[in-house]
Amino acid sequence: MLDHEAYLEAELLNAPRRLSNHLFHYTNAEAAIFGILRSGALRLSPFESTNDLWESRPLYPSLMSHADDHQFEVGMELWNELDRLIRIHAKVACLTQDWELPGSVLNPDALRGWNHLSIWAHYGAKHSGACLQFDRNKLIKAFTTTPVPSALLRFHGPVVYRSASAGAGLDGVDIGQVREFGLDAVAINYAETNHGQIFFRKHADWSNETEYRLVLIDQSALPVEFSIREALTGVFLGDAFPSNRMPALLAALQPYPDVKIFQLRHHNRHLFCHPFSPPGHTDSTATISPLKSHNRFGTLDERLSALKESVRLAAQHREHAAALCSRHLATLEKAIGEIATAILSWPQVEVGVYKSLAAIPGHQVSRAPGVPGESIHFESGYMCVIEHLPKHTHTAVAAIAVQVLSGDRVRIHGMIKIEHWKPNGNEQLEHWRESCEVALPDTATTLDSIIKNLKTALKLSRLDFDRDRGL
């Protein structure tokens, strides 16, 4: 059977991705509302407050000296003072990058900057905070052009994650230069020369953050702020964002009329993003919600009893229908297995067989018990999936299914389609389809005919499948 989780992981690993122009900043509700949004500024925090030991612990460079300096005893005192001079003056803003996936991917939001559960837990107040979305170019411009009288160095860029580091293998510090120019000047020069290793390297354990940093070094120990009013484009509210903070959030966003608000909701291990509508807002195009209306009349007890009776009768019919067509299902499974075995001789393909209703058109799939429509008591089927290797850019699907209807009628479906990966969404082309409804006694003969036609159609479809793969 298909391992859906493994399939999703493989799809994400192989899917093309594009770095967007968005950057995201996670924070708690109070900091977002009463700090960043109210002030219109983002604060650069002390570098020494970072949480990776690669950064929060000193990095000791090699010490070099000329024969003239051998009489000077240096060691931990110089190292510690060098590290202190850098840390006390370095400030950093940490943001998350954003990756876009094709809409054809089953989980297209998996790599979005707002969709990081661990970051929500660590920095977004356990999902009760907010994630601010910025235009990357405008944010960098604001950072690089904001006047800071004592500014010495500014850097920005993505963090590089490594499982191993050269550690002290950085450009060293010369004792003679320290005596000549002063340790403070040497410290700033050392930070400039080695800024990539000092400020933009983290252990691979933090790689899920896909971090982008803004780093400033000045001559002050106080924080630095810069305006985000032109760069802010969206606010994403965590799944547990408190409703009592909503009035303050809306008030704080009044100076940002073009900024969009989104509400995130977690369901079945997926984080979904929905446009936020302020209380009292109505959408004239909205459809009627099934939560507020129903077709059945009667009290709750009457409707609940009718629902349970529908489920009971459906289960009874399904058991009877499954018994009627059990041998036909065995025929289906055997036929799809033979097809898969034959396909293994095709060059550069991977073949899988799965239980599936793919052969049944969507409008003919059974409805839930009690819902009006065609009575379909039982349905089952199989599909054979042919994937092009080494990349799953071309896929062929051969599927067959049976349905048992009222009056012991049986409907049989066969289908072949080919799917091609496209940068803007997959293209699906149905090559062959056949459906036939017969009385139960005629099922075996009709099923054999459709299986035969499926095998013939698959041979013809292979011509297009191989041509698209360049074979």
Q: What is the tens place of the pLDDT at every residue in 187-243? A: 888 899 889 989 999 999 999 999 999 999 998 888 899 999 999 999 999 999 999
Considering the entire predicted model, what is its pTM?
0.65
> In what side-by-side order are the strands of the sheet with 349-355?
349-355, 376-388, 394-405, 409-420, 427-439
Looking at 258, 275, 292, which one is the last position of a domain? 275
How many domains in the chain? 2
Q: Give me the residues paired with residue 156 across strands.
A: 214
Report the Cα 176 to chain-centroid distance in Å: 52
Least confident range of 12-16, 254-258, 351-355: 12-16
Residue 315 lies in a domain: no
Per DSSP (E only), the strands in 114-203 are: 130-135, 151-158, 160-162, 173-174, 201-203
Residue 265 and residue 394 in one domain = no
Residue 196 and residue 132 in one domain = yes
Residue 168 lies in a domain: yes
What's the CA gap between 117 and 157, in Å, rounded? 23
Which pair of structure tokens corresponds to residue 462? 């292979």
Does 244 have pLDDT greater than 90? Answer: yes
Q: Give me the residues paired with residue 212 across strands.
A: 95, 158
Average of per-residue pLDDT across 385-414: 89
User: What range does the domain containing 112 cover?
Assistant: 4-275
Residue 269 and residue 386 in one domain = no
| pLDDT for position 392 | 63
Angle at 104 between CA 101 and CA 106, to 5 degrees: 85
Looking at 253, 275, 297, which one is the last position of a domain? 275
Residue 162 and residue 261 in one domain = yes
Does 453 have pLDDT greater than 90? Answer: yes
Q: Give me the residues paired with residue 134 across strands.
A: 23, 232
Q: How many CB atoms lie within 10 A of CB 355?
A: 16
Long-range CB contacts for residues 431-436, cutoff 8 Å, separation at least 24? 431/457, 431/460, 431/461, 431/464, 432/457, 432/460, 432/461, 435/361, 435/411, 436/411, 436/412
Residue 283 lies in a domain: no
Residue 227 and residue 98 in one domain = yes
Residue 249 and residue 357 in one domain = no
Looking at 214, 243, 275, which one is the last position of a domain? 275
Residue 314 lies in a domain: no
Q: How many CB atoms lie within 10 A of CB 193?
A: 12
pLDDT interval class at 49 (50, 70, 90): confident
Residue 73 and residue 180 in one domain = yes
Residue 122 and residue 48 in one domain = yes
Residue 443 lies in a domain: yes
Residue 290 lies in a domain: no
Least confident range of 9-23, 291-305, 397-411: 291-305
Residue 237 and residue 349 in one domain = no
Residue 264 and residue 408 in one domain = no
Q: For 312-360, write each residue's pLDDT tens digit.
A: 999 999 999 999 999 999 999 999 999 999 988 888 888 999 999 999 9
List, as one string, the DSSP characters of 129-151: SEEEEEEHHHHHHHHHHS--TTE
